[in-house]
Amino acid sequence: MQKTILITGSTDGIGLETARMLLAQGHHVLLHGRSLEKVQNTENTLLGEEKCRGKITPHVADLSNMADVEALTKMVIANHDQIDVLINNAGVFKAATTITIDGLDLRFAVNTIAPFLLTQRLLPLFCEAGRVINLSSAAQSPVDLDALLGKKIIAEDFAAYAQSKLAIASWSRIFAERYPELLVFAVNPGSLLGSKMVKDNFGIAGSDISIGARVVSRLACGEGDEAFSGEYFDNDIGRFSQPHPDGLDSEKNQALVKAIENKLAQLGL
C-alpha cells in the first residue's frame, strides 16, 4: 500500500537516501529542504531515476526559524488529507552562526524543537497507527534546559549537538505515552555515516549512508517494531536499546517537554 511520508532534510545525506528507498517501494514522499533550488534539483534527480516508482510533493522551509516551521505545517495540512509517516531527519552540527532568529541555539532549534512543533501540529493528519521517526544519535548528553531555551550559550558544537540529540529521544518517549495511537521511534542511524555532516565536521569519508537509510525506512514502513513505541533504536548495535540514562528519567523528560512548550508559547506558537 502506498504511504504518504514526510521526510525533513531529504535533499541530502541519509534523508535523501531514505527518500530514494521509499520511492523505489512506491511511496508518496513529501520531499523537504530549506533551499527551493536544491529541492527542485533533488526532485528532478529522483524522478529521473529508473527505480523510482513513487510520487513526490516538494516542500520548502528553514527549520531554524519556528515561523517557517509553522508555515510548513500549514502547507502540509492544506495540501494533504492524511500522512502515514513523519521522518524528522533534518539535522545540523555546526554553522557560522549558532543563534537563531528566535534566540535559540541552532542545534536545539533544528534538531529538537522544530521536529517537536512539526509533530505536534501534524497530529490531526496522521492515519491510524501513524509513525514518527526521530533522528537521534549515539552522541547524547544531559540537557541543560537553560541552553535549550536559549538563555545560556553552549560554546562547543559537539556538546550542543549531543544535548539536542538526547532531547529528541526524550520527547519521543513522552509523545509515545501521550499519543498511544501513534508509533514514535528515536533512532541512531549508525555512527559516522558518510554524509555532508560527517565529512565537513569530522574530516572523514565515513561509512555507507544507506546503512542509516535502511534502518530509517524499516522503522517507517516495516513490521515487527510496533511494541517498541517511545524506544530508542541504536543501529550501531542493530536493536532497540537504552538511551543516555537521563532519557529514561520521566521527570526530566516531562520538564524538557514543558520547557519546549513554554518556549513555543513565548514565540506565539
Ligand X SMILES: NC(=O)c1ccc[n+]([C@@H]2O[C@H](COP(=O)([O-])OP(=O)(O)OC[C@H]3O[C@@H](n4cnc5c(N)ncnc54)[C@H](OP(=O)(O)O)[C@@H]3O)[C@@H](O)[C@H]2O)c1
Q: Which is nearer to ligand X, 25 or 210 (CB)?
A: 210
Distance CA(185)–CA(187), nearest Å, equals 6
Which of 2, 26, 35, 41 is the binder for ligand X (CB under 6 A)? 35
Which of 6, 7, 14, 160 is the binder for ligand X (CB under 6 A)? 14
Give the nearest distance from C-beta 75 to ligand X in angstroms. 14
Stretch that binds ligand X, among 123-131, 145-153, 189-197, 257-265 (CB under 6 A): 189-197
Give the nearest distance from C-beta 180 to ligand X in angstroms. 26
Q: Which is nearer to ligand X, 61 or 176 (CB)?
A: 61
Give the nearest distance from C-beta 88 to ligand X in angstroms. 8
Asked whether 43 and 56 are in contact (CB, 8 A), the reply is yes
115 binds ligand X (CB under 6 A): no
Q: Which is nearer to ligand X, 14 or 117 (CB)?
A: 14
196 binds ligand X (CB under 6 A): yes
For residue 17, the tally of other CB atoms under 10 A from its CB is 23
6 binds ligand X (CB under 6 A): no
Stretch that binds ligand X, among 83-91, 143-151, 173-181, 245-253 (CB under 6 A): 83-91
Question: Which is it for the CA torsion 11, 12, 17, 18, positive or negative?
Answer: negative
Which of 22, 46, 110, 186 is the binder for ligand X (CB under 6 A)? 110
Residues 125-184 that bind ligand X (CB under 6 A): 135, 137
Through-space distance between the first and last CA atoms of the chain, rounded to whole angstroms = 35
Give the nearest distance from C-beta 134 to ligand X in angstroms. 9
How is residue 115 annotated by DSSP?
H
Distance CA(43)–CA(60), nearest Å, equals 12
Give the nearest distance from C-beta 251 to ligand X in angstroms. 26
Long-range contacts for 246-253 (Cβ within 8 Å, ≥24 apart)? 246/142, 246/143, 246/166, 246/170, 247/140, 247/166, 247/169, 247/170, 247/173, 248/173, 252/143, 252/170, 253/170, 253/171, 253/173, 253/174
Q: Which is nearer to ligand X, 95 or 129 (CB)?
A: 95
Q: Which is nearer to ligand X, 9 or 230 (CB)?
A: 9
Interaction mask 37-66, ligand X, x per CB under 6 A: -x-----------------------xxx--
For residue 2, the tally of other CB atoms under 10 A from its CB is 12
H helix runs in the chain, sequence order: 13-24, 36-47, 66-79, 106-108, 114-122, 145-148, 157-178, 196-202, 210-221, 250-266
Asked whether 8 and 89 are in contact (CB, 8 A), the reply is yes
Count of residues that interact with ligand X, criterion CB under 6 A: 29
Distance CA(103)–CA(141), nearest Å, equals 22
Residue numbers at the binding site for ligand X (CB under 6 A) = 9, 11-15, 33-35, 38, 62-64, 89-92, 110, 135, 137, 188-189, 191-193, 195-198
